[in-house]
Amino acid sequence: MTARPRVLSGIQPTADSFHIGNYLGALREWVRMQETHDCFYCVVDQHAITTEHDPGVLRERTFTSFAQLLAVGLDPERSTIFVQSQVPEHSQLAWVLECQTGFGEASRMTQFKDKSVKGGAERSSVGLFTYPILQAADILIYQANAVPVGEDQRQHLELTRDLAQRFNGTFGQTFTVPEPMIIKETAKVVDLQEPSAKMSKSAPGGCVFLLDDDSVSRKKIKSAVTDSEREIRFDPVGKAGVANLLTMQQALTGRGMADIVASYEGRGYGDLKSETADIVMDVIAPIRARTRELLADRAELLRLMALGADRARATASITLRDVYEKVGFIPV
């Protein structure tokens, strides 16, 4: 029997809830990949301290994030689901990779530029600057073949591939060079209020959170920005707001786009919005209920975290040992 290809992906615990962009751009694919791949999925709490944070809030969000991963359908028996800081090999590898990364190369990462706009680069943490290198370590330490993510992570995956190839070239074959897996249709779910921007927790008004009450999310979808026309067509450039609602419907129902568009002939944006809201609610209400159930039993969540961390370390430590040996460190 040939081994299944491996995937690794991660998500930040930086909000009280994941959103429908995370779900459609990444999490749903993570669940599907359990059928075909050897899966490693982590809550990247170390990435979450690169900007100012409150320790108590982070701890709570890490529990909630872990519970949501289980609630969307990840199975801790089949997949290795864990919390990044519980697997110290990630940061150990990150240091080695940082020493292989050019300062100019790291400076070209657009996420740092975007996120440091507010306080200015001078006041941003060095951790925010080296963030993509820790992400590369997350991936490379498991020898992942594929990384399911949304479009916004493409540049980080390019850096990951460059670092893997460079290390292999310098020290001999060590890392698998991973392929990005970006689901075209849902790679970028856009903000409901600002369709030129991706949906993001940092703009909560245009963001549908999985754990919000139905009434809150329904209201956001019903007040989604569209355009001054009346016709319902799929045109992501000219009619980004309408196209976003249609895309959510397509992704959540599995119906063809032509079929969905045809069903709105002679009908208006009001119908499109309220039916999209119904479809979204049908999917997220059970996730929310299951997350709440899971959060009621912290001991069980801690047990599952420990199980995931143990399994992750068993694999991560093999890569780290090889890397340490290749760079010339003396084993203990």
226 binds ligand TYM (CB under 6 A): no
User: In terms of DSSP bridges, do strands 80-83 and 38-43 run parallel, antiparallel, or are they unpaired?
Assistant: parallel
The closest alpha carbon to 188, from 146, 133, 247, 129, belongs to: 247
Please pick, from the candidates 7, 31, 39, 44, the single residue that binds ligand TYM as defined by CB under 6 A.
44
- Determine phi and psi for 10, rounding to 5 degrees: -140, 160
130 binds ligand TYM (CB under 6 A): no
The closest alpha carbon to 208, from 194, 191, 225, belongs to: 191
Please pick, from the candidates 7, 11, 211, 260, the single residue that binds ligand TYM as defined by CB under 6 A.
11
Please pick, from the candidates 138, 210, 245, 250, the single residue that binds ligand TYM as defined by CB under 6 A.
138
Listed in sequence order, the residues at least 6 apart from 275 whose beta carbon sits closer than 8 Å to its beta carbon are 249
Question: Which range binds ligand TYM by CB under 6 A, 94-102, 148-156, 259-267, 319-327?
Answer: 148-156
Ramachandran region of residue 184, left (φ > 0), alpha (ψ -120 to 50) or beta?
A: alpha
Binding mask 85-124 for ligand TYM (x = CB under 6 A): ----------------------------------------
Q: Which two tokens stand for residue 193?
A: 């209020």
Beta bridge partner(s), residue 149 = 182
- Determine phi and psi for 181, rounding to 5 degrees: -120, 100
Please pick, from the candidates 62, 79, 130, 153, the single residue that binds ligand TYM as defined by CB under 6 A.
153
15 binds ligand TYM (CB under 6 A): no
Q: 298-327 and 55-71 helices cross at what angle (nearest 10)?
A: 100
Nearest distance, CB of residue 44 and ligand TYM, angstroms? 4
Binding mask 157-186 for ligand TYM (x = CB under 6 A): -----------------------------x
146 binds ligand TYM (CB under 6 A): no
Catalytic one of 118, 184, 188, 201: 201
210 binds ligand TYM (CB under 6 A): no
CA angle 282, 285, 291 (to 5 degrees): 145
Exposure string for 209-228, b = 16+ CB within 10 A, e = fewer: bbbbeeeebbebbeebbbee
313 binds ligand TYM (CB under 6 A): no
198 binds ligand TYM (CB under 6 A): yes
Please pick, from the candidates 7, 17, 25, 74, the single residue that binds ligand TYM as defined by CB under 6 A.
25
DSSP 247-259: HHHHHHH---HHH
188 binds ligand TYM (CB under 6 A): yes
Nearest distance, CB of residue 251 and ligand TYM, angstroms? 10
Q: Is 115 a catalytic residue?
A: yes
Residues that bind ligand TYM (CB under 6 A): 8-12, 21-22, 25-26, 44, 47, 135, 138-139, 147, 149-150, 152-153, 156, 186-189, 198-199
Query: What amino acid positions are annotated as catalytic residues?
Result: 115, 198, 201
